Amino acid sequence: MRADWHEQVAVVTGAAGGLGAALARRLAAAGARVALLDRDGAAAEQLAAELRRAGLQAQAWACDISEQPQVQQVFAQLEGQWGGVTLLINNAGIAARALARDCRAEVVRRVMAVNYFGAVHCTEAALPALLAARGRIVVISSVAGFSPLIGRSAYAASKHALHGFFDSLRSELQGTGVAVTLVCPSFIATGIEAAALGGDGRPLARRRDVSGGLASADAVAASILHAAARRQRLLLPSATARAAYLLSRLAPALYETLMRRRVGAEFS
């Protein structure tokens, strides 16, 4: 990995915790200069300081990626400090947990603003440098990006939108040397579900997760960086994700039945 990431300029959004923090730690350990973007600037700075104390290169920026002017300002500052981005990891995301009939449109818009438009904003800001460097874009999607997910229609919509945009972008970038990797994990041991919004837009009072075992954020991060190094188009980082991908295509009705049994009880 060191040969791939040493002295490269990597941006990780949603880097203060969970999968983003795991990615940032691995990239910094591999010699990359890591820009940690997170709405929680204090938490991002805490991680950046930890990495710097270990002799690694990391800087933190407080940034709400749903706000394009903030994104443009951060990327301009980053280029002035370290030069152009060579690896962009669009990881930041939020979840909403409610049946579609109980989920207000404003909640759907908020999820789309962060999960979809946030990735679009960062990609637009980074693309000139990525083209110059023949760099890499990694997009953290989900099994919900290619299949239905009961009680998370807003989240699934945002992840489906990522696939439409970035699959099309990959086609447009053919021949430029810029790689686009879509990552579709199942449930990971991060805080996104615990911090999910309810259908009324308020944080849920408690976590109700009946989805089964959770993957380790560090293990998923390792597989993501391996796929990015290989410029892989799609990563399904677990047996569950691979099974979901195949079954949702080959037998969609059966997939929906199994998914309702596994996840739907949360809303019964």
Positions annotated as catalytic residues are 155
d(CA 249, CA 246): 5
Q: Are 187 and 214 in contact (CB under 8 A)?
A: yes
